[in-house]
Structure formats: C-alpha cells, structure tokens
Copies of this chain bind each other. A is one copy, B any other.
C-alpha cells in the first residue's frame, strides 16, 4: 500500500500541529476548518509552524473550508475539532465519505464513536466507514497565533477504540509507524469513561464562573480548585465511578489516576492538585465558550449522568453542575449533550450495551 493520505478536520491548535507533523513525515495532508476567515489566513501563510516539543514548518497540500474536498481521496480522516462539533462533522461528510475511509476522533469523549455513527445514519449516510475514538488528544498544545501551534507536551500512550472492538487493533497496527502512541483499548466504554474531563474542566469552570465572566485570569488548577471545589469534584467523581461500575467498566477514580500519572504523594485531591508541578501556571478560560465549559459538559458530564439515570445510578452532583451551568449560560446542556438517546443506548441493559460495543 502506498503512503496514506490524511484529511485533518479542524485547524485549531491540535489540527494545525497534526497536519504539520504528518506533512513533515512525508504524508499527503488536507486541512479543513469551517471558519472561512481562518482558512483564508492559513492559505496566505507560506508555512504553518510548530514550536516547542515539535520544531517544524510545513504547508498542507490543501487548506479548505469544504469538508468534501478535504476528505476526497484521503485514507485516514483525523477529526481534531472539539467533540461537541462531531455531529456537524458527521453531517458534513455523510454524502461523500467512502466505505474504506477510516475516521479517527481525536479524542472521542464519552460515546464518541456511537455518537458519530448515529449522526452519520441520521444524515442518511449510505456507507459504514470504520470509526475509531482516541481517549485523549495525543499532544498538549496551544495556539500562539493562527497557523502557529506551541507543542507543550507529548502523551506517550493514547487508548484507541472502535466498534467492533477488534478494529482498534487493526487501525493501531496500520498506523504504528506514524502514530505509535495509539494503544488498542478493549472497547469504546474504556476510552470514553477513562477521561473524566468533566471533573477537572466543567466543575472548576462552573465554580469559577464569576472570574470567567469578569475576565479575571487565575491559575487554573492552583487557584481554581479550592478545597471546596475539590469536595464537589470528589462527590461527582464518586458518581462517575458508580456509573462505570454499573456498566461493568473498571475505571480508576480521579485521585489515584492523577497520583499515578503525575507521581503525586498527597492522599487528598486538593493537596494532590497543589503538588502537581505540570498544573502550575495553566491559564484559565477567559470566556464561557471555552471547551472546558462546552464539550466537557456536553460530551462527558451529560452522557455520564444520562447513562447513570438509565441504569438506576443516582448522579445528583453531576446533575447539579449540569443544571447550574445551564442556568448560568442560558443553554440546556442536558438536552443538547450526548444523551443515551443520541448514543443509541436508550433502554438498553448493561449486557446489551456490552454486546453493542464488542
């Protein structure tokens, strides 16, 4: 097989970096963004630039706002948008996506593949492409300016899952030279539930809404996760773990997870966060459209609560945060987010869900 052709959907920090890395490795890359002004700016640049962990410059073969043009001829479609935009992406590619194209959601969030597949069906897609979801974006990065991404951190291993589950191994093998970070997970429940981004993103943002609204910057983790806020997170995390348990999925609670990832000593969440060097100096969101307040609620808290409700697991703290954020932002997150209905899980038992994702 000749070298893959990639389509990268979303020219944010990670999509830009992804396209530079792929191009630098010699692959053909098309880059798409729905923001036409951004596309025009990117097209005018001589090269796109990565600094930090990756120092490289490259220009994609095509930069476009046209999704169909972007994915045309690509073997691998790397979706690098925020996860709450996955429905829109699925609708945009439904008519032109091919059976043999592979779609990878970077990341998928809870129910990523299920949601994307349902959105394709909803848009009358006639083919059944292989869809994978990553448990996380493979790099930590941020936009310095349009076309310039600072690559701040490398994640050595990212879980990859698909439906049927065995497809994840096939895709990880296929891409092992270009993306050795992908490690097959047992199924999409493992990738979807291992994140818990709602815990560290949605909850602190809701509890720091005063500063975000007033555009008063704060050290996100160090100032934002006060002892009280940590108590709310701990209560919500217990509920998240209870939902995982009811699903039969073993997931590490947040505190031991952070302790093992970052090698932290303290036995309570507040002190653990305070002792976490990589958490120092992280900037806070300056507006409520930030992904911490949008996709992490829509694609993590909402499906967690929705699955919990279906399986009879009470999630009062998570429900409270969703309701409070809905009031604060004047947006019905519980309705707009990934409910069991949108994931095609409504009315299913734990056993039926497992069968679906095997």
Residues of A within 8 A of B (CB): 207-211, 213-214, 218, 223-224, 226-229, 231-232, 235, 288, 316-317, 320, 323-324, 327-330
Query: Which chain B positions have C-beta within 8 A of A208?
Result: 210
Contact (A226, B207) CB under 8 Å given A231-B330, A327-B317: no
B229 engages A210 (CB within 8 Å): yes
A232 touches B324 (CB 8 A): yes
Pair A228/B213 contact, Cβ less than 8 Å:
yes
Q: Tell me how far the C-beta of A332 lies from the nearest C-beta in chain B, rounded to whole angstroms.
A: 13
Q: Are A209 and B209 in contact (CB under 8 A)?
A: no
What separation, in Å, do the CA atoms of A207 and B232 have in the docked complex? 13
Q: Which of B226, B232, B328 contacts A232 (CB 8 A)?
A: B328
Closest 7 CB pairs of A and B: A228-B328, A213-B226, A209-B228, A208-B210, A320-B320, A232-B327, A210-B226
Residues of chain B within 8 A of A327, CB atoms compared: 228, 231-232, 235, 317
Identical copies of this chain, number: 2
Residues of B within 8 A of A231 (CB): 327-328, 330
Scoring A207, A224, A330 by chain B CB atoms within 10 A of each residue's CB, the highest score goes to A207
Pairs across A and B, CB under 8 Å, 26 listed: A207-B210, A209-B226, A209-B228, A209-B229, A210-B210, A210-B211, A210-B224, A210-B226, A210-B228, A210-B229, A211-B211, A213-B226, A213-B228, A214-B223, A228-B327, A228-B329, A231-B327, A231-B328, A231-B330, A232-B328, A235-B327, A316-B323, A317-B327, A320-B320, A320-B323, A320-B324
What is the chain B residue whose CB lies nearest that of A321? B324
Please state if A213 and B235 are interface contacts (CB–CB under 8 Å): no
